[in-house]
Chains A and B, each alone.
Chain A
C-alpha cells in the first residue's frame, strides 16, 4: 500500500458514497403527515403534507403561506421562489385547489413550519 494506492481507495470510496447518497436522495419517498394529527415526532425530517393554501405573502422573493385542512393550519415558507412557481401556488390559492407540499418539517420561533423543497398541485 502506497500513497498512490491510498489515493485510489479514497477516490473509490468517495465516489461510491456520493453515488449511494444520490440514489437515496433520488428514490426517497417522504413520509406523509396529516395536519389533523400531532406530528412532533417527525420534526427535522423531510415530510409531505396536503392541504389548501391560505395567507400567501411574498417578502423579498420568499413566499410565506399556510397549508390548511379544515381549521388546522401549518405555516410554510418557500425560499427564493421562482416567478413560475409563485404563479402556480397563487393559482392554487385562488381556485382553492389542494396542494401537496414536500419539505423539511422544523421549528421556527418554537412553532412548527415547513421549509418547502417542492410542491404538487392536485
Chain B
C-alpha cells in the first residue's frame, strides 16, 4: 500500500504539472495504453494519483491561466495574486487549504454517510438543487440585459451538453473535447492575444504568513459546503464555491483560495467515499474506471483514510521542496510562448483522442466558453453544460 501511495503521488505530480490535462483524460490515457495490465486493481494507487494531481494542478493554473474544470473558481484569485507578484503566496494558500480541507473532509465522513443514506433516492431534492443554482445564476445579475446574457450562455452551454452527452452519435470522448473547449481554450486565447505586462514573482518564503485560525475556519467551511454539493450529480466544487461566496460576501483573495482548495480536495475525498460505500462516484475519472471494471472499490475505511493523509502529506512535501525553483524558472520564461505551446498541445491532444470530427465541436465550445470572459461573467455558469443534461435525462 505504501508503494502504491508513493508511485501514485509521483505520477500524479507529473500529470498535475502538465497544463490543461484533466484527471478524466488521465483515466482514458491509462485505458488506451493498457496501463491497467501493469497496475491491476490498484485502488489506493489511483486515489493517491488523483489527490496529488489535484494539488499539483494549482501550479499550472497559477502560472499559465489554464484551469481545470474542478477548480475553475480558483482561477481568478490565484491570477490576482500572480499579477501582484505573489504567486508563491497563492500556491502556499492552496497547500494550506488542501491540508486542512483533507483533514476536515475525513472528520466529516460519518456525517456524509448519514446524510447520503437519508437522502438517497430523493430525486426531487436533486432536481430542485440544480434548478435553484441555475436560477440563482440569473437572479444575481444586476439588470435585465445582464440576465438575458446569462440565460443565453446557460442555454447555449446546456444545449451543447444535450447534443454532445445525450444525443452524441459521432463524437468520441465528447466530455473531454467540450471541457477543453469551454474552460481551457478561451483563457489561453485571452492570455495570448491580450497585451501582458511581465510580472516578476517574489520568492522570499519568510515573507509569507497566514492566520492559522482563519485558515482552519475557511477550510472547514469549504469541506462543509463540499459535503452538501457532492450529494447532487453534476455539481462540482465551483458551484460549492459560488454558494459560499453568495452567503459570505466580500471574501478576500486569500479566503477565496483557502475555501476553494479545501472544497476541491474535500469533493475528491467525498467522491471516492461515495463510490466505496454507495457505488455512486461523483467524479468522472472514477466513474470511468468503475465502468470499465478496472478498479474494485474497497470498503476498508481505515486504509482509505491513511492513504488520503499520506498522499496529501507526501505531495505537499514534494511541492514545497521544488516550488521556489519553479518560481525562479517562471521568472525567466516568456509566458506567452508557453501559453501558445499549451494551446497547440491541447488541440493536438483533442485531435489524437477524438479525431478530426472533434475540432468543429471544440471550436464551438471555445466560442461558448469565451462568452463569460467577454461579458465579464463568472465562468461557473458554463457548468450548465453538465447540469442541464443531468436535470433532463440522468436523474
- List A residues at the B interface (Cβ < 8 Å): 1-3, 5-7, 9-10, 13-14, 17-18, 20-21, 24, 44
Given the interface pairs A10-B313, A14-B310, the reply to whether A44 lies near B99 with Cβ below 8 Å is: no
CB closest chain-A residue, reference B206: A2
**B302–A24 touching, CB < 8 Å:** yes
Residues on B with C-beta less than 8 A from A6 are 92, 95-96, 99, 316, 320
B228 at the interface (CB under 8 A from A): no
**B92–A3 touching, CB < 8 Å:** yes
Residues on B with C-beta less than 8 A from A24 are 302
In angstroms, Cα B218 to Cα A1, docked, is 14
A24: shortest Cβ distance to chain B, in Å? 6
| Contact bitstring B98-125, A, C-beta under 8 A = 1, else 0 | 0100010000000000000000000000
Given the interface pairs A14-B310, A17-B310, A44-B296, the reply to whether A1 lies near B316 with Cβ below 8 Å is: no
**A14–B211 touching, CB < 8 Å:** no
CB closest chain-B residue, reference A2: B209
Given the interface pairs A6-B99, A10-B99, A44-B41, the reply to whether A1 lies near B313 with Cβ below 8 Å is: no
Residues on B with C-beta less than 8 A from A5 are 212
Dominant SS among interface residues on chain A: helix
In angstroms, Cα B296 to Cα A18, docked, is 24
**A1–B302 touching, CB < 8 Å:** no
In angstroms, Cα B99 to Cα A3, docked, is 13
Residues on B with C-beta less than 8 A from A1 are 96, 209-212, 215
**A13–B209 touching, CB < 8 Å:** no
A3: shortest Cβ distance to chain B, in Å? 5
CB closest chain-A residue, reference B310: A17
B169 at the interface (CB under 8 A from A): no
**B313–A2 touching, CB < 8 Å:** no
In angstroms, Cα B82 to Cα A6, docked, is 21
Q: Which of B92, B210, B317 contacts A10 (CB 8 A)?
A: B317
In angstroms, Cα B208 to Cα A27, docked, is 43
Residues on B with C-beta less than 8 A from A13 are 99, 103, 309, 312-313
Given the interface pairs A2-B208, A3-B320, the reply to whether A20 lies near B306 with Cβ below 8 Å is: yes
**B302–A18 touching, CB < 8 Å:** no
B205 at the interface (CB under 8 A from A): yes
**A21–B306 touching, CB < 8 Å:** yes
